[in-house]
Structure 1
């Protein structure tokens, strides 16, 4: 099967339909991210947080690092990267086109910039494409840094919670299989307590390394120096562009509020189900009957039921308007949107990995490899860890 996987002889979808709790938890995370994307809640959160960070490139990168990592804590890291990359690219395009403007003062009216539904930042008039070859070496480095920071932050944020990336879920599932009926000590809250502090260190390290690679140490040191007049003009433009894009979204819609409430209730249920520090609500059910995927799938069910506009309830209308038939509202998440945008390949590959893992274990191949490794490496922990890290890298 591994040879078929590497050679892509046939699709592995036929091996992937395994009713595992881990798969359902991952489906839940992806469905929630789809609902967030449908109502553009991620865009509102990102732009609002960007209005608080400085307009200097260094602070802008730090802002994107924090925002993307925060969003990636709660949804799939893959989905987070897909949501945040268009916003980062649109902002970069607006900034660099402004820098290449032939106008002496590079003046722009902030109302010329609009953040469209697809995440692209456009001008109201005809759009000018970004010619990267015309950018200076420093500006090209800034573009590379910001896009890489979005990718890095999605992965780094995914380490902070148990459900935001596949390996975390697989790790918990593997422990539960090897130690059935025993308390592994892993819960949503305990994982966060263990993983969030190093996650913050990873964020800072990535922010530093990416800038050192493409911009050099001098660029980082300049964060503490006052900006020149030219830099102040560019920073004012960035601030106005972000602020205008945020205000173009208008007031928070009913769909955004509903999605946010469902999302917060879902996260709260995951945290309080079995927090270890006190007895959670899972104690009211037989052990093993209720898992995190249960509350997650309940949230997904609510997304398909709850309307994206205020419900049209007859007895809540004025008396003069109660006789007309009720208008059916579209749900927060529709099956058409799921069929169109859900990354089925991610779930299928995850299931294929489970299928191969089970076949390796049942055939005894895993025990054979472990015994040979112990013999060859003489049971030394460091070489064994190095071999595992190399295999994970591949």
Structure 2
């Protein structure tokens, strides 16, 4: 076996876990050393991705029963809970949008109205990308928008000096990638770390889990400010891009080529709209001095959640039929689900359960008692710095799966506002702008061959540093809109 970082990590994971089992003793919590061993093993394998993420996620199903942390029947349900079904339902609706071409029509409708200048067109791309990323995969959104942008940019490169236009074309593509990352902050279904946050809140603070609308009261301002920062940093670089109003005419031509909206597009648009409204209005708003009930309070039985809504509305897509008589979604939709991410979610939720069950989370919180004297804004700032730069080299979903249970325990044990600290970590996980490996949208624009590594690093590090302040400040200021703990 050749010696490289992944092979070293492959051995280091179980080796560190074994050493932990032998050497570590935590008084009062007999299974906590075993839980620490499993957590370190999973963290090493997740961060290095020496095996598929889903394989690491399955470790608790074997380790917990063998080490006495939790039984198999207690651990298995963590892999398929309501948050998982919210993700599956949302992904099925997103798949229907892509199958019908609705996402392309939405994008072209927005872009065809904004092409008078390079800056205006870039703003159109950013707005369309961010909006779509709130509802469908950031990867699919970035791929669609780059596909639309590349012909425009290649035309400019052919007609003008490539050395002069190239850096500005790279900036244009970076704006698309970064807008996809920023847009994912807007809704709970916009990015996997958001769902990880909701499940960890349900485990740690079940009475204070934000509703869909309450999340958006934080997420939408974050998206708007994030896009503003993006254009303050990168917008001026587009001023020199040579441009005629006619350069954007092919956007209108592409929209006209789509023709009138087909039946399947209309059905998917209605399903998406109704789903969003049901999500937003289900729980109402609960904050200091304000309590507006949602529609779920009118039901005779309590228990309907966002996962219920997602699956119900996604199921309609298997019943509704398009102009060709075929259902909007068929049996081929289930193999297309990202089961590796589903397993990754489940493994993280099992990890959080094991840390609570074993008492490890409470012990970690006690060891960091000195943080009790740290002001909350300073704690939030430190978390933002660590998470934003850590996710440049690791999966943001895996990072939040490992970090959020620890941050929850530390915050609760030391009297800090756990929701604020966990929110900073969650939103910060979407702020990976420096490297192609940080997020799929970054990789997609880098793969176009028009974005040099140095351009991404230079733009990304500036955005990282600014977003550390933005994320910390906005969450601190908007926190009163969310349920009190």
Give the TM-score range, shorter chain.
Answer: 0.7 to 0.9
Assess if the C-alpha contact under 8 Å between 2:134 and 2:187 holds in 1.
yes
Assess if the C-alpha contact under 8 Å between 1:57 and 1:142 holds in 2.
no
User: Which whole-Å CA distance do the structure 2 matches of 1:12 and 1:84 have between them?
Assistant: 28
Assess if the C-alpha contact under 8 Å between 1:50 and 1:63 holds in 2.
yes
Aligned residue for 2:296?
282
Aligned residue for 2:250?
241
Higher helix share: 2
Aligned residue for 1:332?
328
User: Which whole-Å CA distance do the structure 2 matches of 1:7 and 1:197 have between them?
Assistant: 33
The runs of 5 or more residues in structure 1 that have no matched partner are 101-133, 224-230, 311-328
Alignment of 1:98-117 (within 5 A): 99=159
Assess if the C-alpha contact under 8 Å between 1:373 and 1:384 holds in 2.
no
List per-residue Cα deviations over 1:352-374 (Å, max 9, x = no partner).
Answer: 22233333333333233322333
Tell me how large the CA RMSD over aligned residues is.
2.7
Assess if the C-alpha contact under 8 Å between 1:30 and 1:79 holds in 2.
no
User: Which whole-Å CA distance do the structure 1 matches of 2:152 and 2:114 have between them?
Assistant: 14
Aligned residue for 1:358?
353
User: Which whole-Å CA distance do the structure 1 matches of 2:53 and 2:134 have between them?
Assistant: 29
Equivalent residue for 1:347, pick from 338, 342, 350: 342
Aligned residue for 1:254?
263
Shift of 1:262: 1.0
The alpha-carbon distance between structure 1 residues 337 and 91, as it changes in their structure 2 partners (threshold 3 A), is farther
The alpha-carbon distance between structure 1 residues 92 and 381, as it changes in their structure 2 partners (threshold 3 A), is same
SS in 1 for 2:134: helix
SS in 2 for 1:54: coil
Shift of 1:377: 7.8
Alignment of 1:46-57 (within 5 A): 46-57=107-118
Shift of 1:252: 0.9
User: Which whole-Å CA distance do the structure 2 matches of 1:257 and 1:337 have between them?
Assistant: 19
The alpha-carbon distance between structure 1 residues 361 and 287, as it changes in their structure 2 partners (threshold 3 A), is farther
The runs of 5 or more residues in structure 2 that have no matched partner are 1-41, 59-75, 286-290, 391-485
Q: Which range moved further: 12-21 or 196-205?
A: 12-21
User: Which whole-Å CA distance do the structure 1 matches of 2:130 and 2:315 have between them?
Assistant: 27
The alpha-carbon distance between structure 1 residues 203 and 12, as it changes in their structure 2 partners (threshold 3 A), is closer
- With normalisation by structure 2, the TM-score equals 0.61
User: Which whole-Å CA distance do the structure 2 matches of 1:93 and 1:25 have between them?
Assistant: 40
2:114 matches 1:88: no
- With normalisation by structure 1, the TM-score equals 0.73
User: Which whole-Å CA distance do the structure 1 matches of 2:116 and 2:157 have between them?
Assistant: 14
User: Which whole-Å CA distance do the structure 2 matches of 1:358 and 1:152 have between them?
Assistant: 33
Shift of 1:243: 1.1
Assess if the C-alpha contact under 8 Å between 1:53 and 1:60 holds in 2.
yes
The alpha-carbon distance between structure 1 residues 210 and 300, as it changes in their structure 2 partners (threshold 3 A), is same
Aligned residue for 1:135?
162
Alignment of 1:257-276 (within 5 A): 257-276=266-285
SS in 2 for 1:342: coil
The alpha-carbon distance between structure 1 residues 11 and 236, as it changes in their structure 2 partners (threshold 3 A), is closer
User: Which whole-Å CA distance do the structure 2 matches of 1:10 and 1:44 have between them?
Assistant: 39
Equivalent residue for 1:375, pick from 364, 370, 382: 370
2:267 matches 1:206: no
Shift of 1:142: 2.4
Equivalent residue for 1:20, pick from 75, 78, 81: 81
2:108 matches 1:67: no
Aligned residue for 2:399?
none
Assess if the C-alpha contact under 8 Å between 1:73 and 1:164 holds in 2.
yes
